Amino acid sequence: MAQGMKIAIVDDEQDMRQSISQWLALSGYDTETFASAEDALKALGSDYPGIVISDIKMPGMDGMSFLKKLMGADSSLPVIMITGHGDVPMAVEAMRVGAFDFLEKPFNPDRMSQLAKKATNARRLTLDARVLRRELSDGGQLIKKLIGSSPAMERLKEDILDLGQADGHVLIDGETGTGKTLVAHALHAVGSRAGKKFVLVSCGAFEEDALSRRIFGPMNPEDSQLPAIEEARGGTLVLEDIETLSDTLQARLLNVINEQGSPAETRIIAISNLQEQDRTCEDALRSDLFYRLAALRITVPPLRQRGEDILTLFTRLSEQFSDDYGCDAPKVSAQEAAQLLQAPWPGNVRQLINLAERAVLQSRRGEGTIASLLLNDHEEMQPVMTTEGKPLKEYVEAFERMLIDNTMRRHRGSIASVMDELCLPRRTLNEKMAKYGLQRADYLS
């Protein structure tokens, strides 16, 4: 079942509405019933969080007219039509208009449950995709996704806001797993091209001939999309793994950039994962192309340079996974907090995401520790303090800040509840919150 999905049941016969509602409720669905299409239309918006099951023959507005109204408002809304025996032509017409499927009376309740499951899953994917698209077009939301307040992250956010307003091409580099593609989305979303096309091509995912067609064309007759350089016209073209371009494709890209002139009709954001000591993106690209792409440059910081952001990220991620898996988030000890802070994190944020999910799963089983997961990831890492020579005091303060922050968020800013759980007098709590820059207003909901 698609959790959280509603099912709107529309039928002028009360017994039919109730029987469908009761059966679906037994299957775990949240149902609501309407005696007429007119009543249902008042309640169903374009982002209705669920599906519709409607009779096709009703007084007033009939099911076909109702379906057309729904499709006009949201063509992706799954609508299952109930037809009478022998109304197959009408059912076929309903499918042509946009119905998800139909049930013929008398129908099998199990068949209805199967269709409901299929339709709600489809609806969930549609709504999730809409949320993602909105977030990817909202610069403010994207900046918020760059979690952390370390000096390195504050500089990154400032760079995104500054360079987003500029119009030159951009090179984003940094280690793998640091979030470079998210930075590219944010650059597009905070700039003047925010409402224009954003096209992303992973250069390392294609053979040379296929990559040439994907970026420059001509496309094969069976391809449904334009070449990326045409598709992104007026907007932003992101080229991931730019260092994998052959000399021939580098020359073609340079020609396109030169032909565009200044300001460029299409902004190019190049992303490089090349961070080896003996070879950089500058080494991999011809110099004239490199300097055109690197007119503006952002280097995304590795996780190990982000200090207390590591604890903040781990806490947020483990809470998200604990919600997904329906269990409590694992508790972090002072020693484990220190180990999280001093781990080398070669896989950066991507590695931290994986570790947070594994920590939640093993906590749900009641076994293992965060330290054991870290040792599995970094066998060379000792369970004592630091690879960077930081004093113990810094780790203790980082853990203390994380503990107060977590407790404040869990109790939604209730000072009394936090004082009680942490056994702190009010004055001490106030002093520590001031010391760590924590504001009660940020936790109120």
CATH of the domain at 119: 3.40.50.2300
The predicted model scores a pTM of: 0.61
**Which amino acid is located at 256 in the chain?**
V
d(CA 112, CA 377): 47
φ, ψ (nearest 5 deg) of residue 199: -120, 130
Could you tell me the pLDDT band of residue 278, with boundaries at 50, 70 and 90?
low
Quick one: angle between helices 63-73 and 88-97, nearest 10?
10
Q: Are residues 120 and 186 in the same domain?
A: no
Number of domains in the chain: 4
Are the beta carbons of 254 and 286 closer than 8 angstroms? yes
Domain end, chosen from 98, 120, 135, is at: 135
Domain end, chosen from 116, 135, 154, is at: 135
The answer to the question of residue 387 being in a domain is no
Coil, helix or strand at residue 314 = helix
Q: Are residues 206 and 276 in the same domain?
A: yes
d(CA 10, CA 31): 11
Which of the pair, 134 or 277, is modelled with greater confidence? 134
Longest dimension (CA), the chain: 80
**Which amino acid is located at 116 in the chain?**
A
Q: Are residues 238 and 289 in the same domain?
A: yes
What is the residue range of 373's domain? 304-380
φ, ψ (nearest 5 deg) of residue 369: -135, 165
Could you tell me the pLDDT band of residue 137, with boundaries at 50, 70 and 90?
low
Query: What stretch of H or E contains 80?
Result: strand 79-83
The answer to the question of residue 326 being in a domain is yes
The alpha carbons of the chain give a radius of gyration, in whole angstroms, of: 27
d(CA 299, CA 273): 10
pLDDT of residue 59: 92
Chain centre distance of CA 63: 37
pLDDT of residue 135: 66
- Is the pLDDT at 386 greater than 70? The verdict is no
pLDDT of residue 391: 58
**Which amino acid is located at 365 in the chain?**
R
Are the beta carbons of 310 and 211 closer than 8 angstroms? no
- Is the pLDDT at 215 greater than 80? The verdict is yes
Q: What is the mean pLDDT of residues 26-43?
A: 91
Could you tell me the pLDDT band of residue 390, with boundaries at 50, 70 and 90?
low
Q: Are strands 50-55 and 79-83 parallel, antiparallel or unpaired?
A: parallel
Are the beta carbons of 175 and 302 closer than 8 angstroms? yes
Could you tell me the pLDDT band of residue 375, with boundaries at 50, 70 and 90?
low
pLDDT of residue 325: 86
Quick one: angle between helices 348-364 and 309-325, nearest 10?
50
pLDDT of residue 280: 83
Q: Are residues 67 and 209 in the same domain?
A: no
Q: What is the mean pLDDT of residues 334-351?
A: 86
Average predicted confidence (pLDDT) for the chain: 85
| Residue showing tokens 């032509």 | 89
Q: Are residues 81 and 212 in the same domain?
A: no
- Is the pLDDT at 414 greater than 60? The verdict is yes
Q: Are residues 147 and 271 in the same domain?
A: yes
d(CA 201, CA 271): 10
Domain end, chosen from 301, 326, 344, is at: 301
Residue 270: CB atoms within 10 Å: 28
Q: Are strands 279-280 and 275-276 parallel, antiparallel or unpaired?
A: antiparallel
Q: Are residues 315 and 418 in the same domain?
A: no
Which of the pair, 137 or 125, is modelled with greater confidence? 125
Of all residues in the chain, the percent with pLDDT exceeding 70 is 89
Q: What is the mean pLDDT of residues 45-74?
A: 90
| Residue showing tokens 């294609």 | 206
Are the beta carbons of 373 and 343 closer than 8 angstroms? no
pLDDT of residue 275: 67
Q: Which residues pair with 296 in a beta bridge?
A: 170
* CATH number assigned to the domain comprising residue 315: 1.10.8.60
Q: Of 278, 229, 284, nearest to 257 (Cα)?
A: 229
Are the beta carbons of 29 and 7 closer than 8 angstroms? yes
- Is the pLDDT at 257 greater than 90? The verdict is yes
- Is the pLDDT at 32 greater than 90? The verdict is yes
Q: Are residues 316 and 367 in the same domain?
A: yes
What percent of the residues of the chain are helix, what percent strand, and what percent coil, each to the nearest 5? 55, 10, 35
- Is the pLDDT at 396 greater than 80? The verdict is no
- Is the pLDDT at 2 greater than 50? The verdict is no
Of all residues in the chain, the percent with pLDDT exceeding 90 is 43
Q: Are residues 289 and 234 in the same domain?
A: yes
d(CA 397, CA 327): 28
Where is average pLDDT lowest: 13-17, 217-221, 354-358? 217-221
Query: What stretch of H or E contains 296?
Result: strand 296-299
Q: Are residues 157 and 287 in the same domain?
A: yes
d(CA 164, CA 329): 37
Are the beta carbons of 138 and 164 closer than 8 angstroms? no
Q: Are residues 153 and 254 in the same domain?
A: yes
Evaluated on CA atoms 204, 210, 212, 218, the torsion sign reads negative
Q: What is the mean pLDDT of residues 75-97?
A: 85
Rama region for 144: left / alpha / beta (φ>0; ψ in -120 to 50; rest): alpha
The answer to the question of residue 1 being in a domain is no
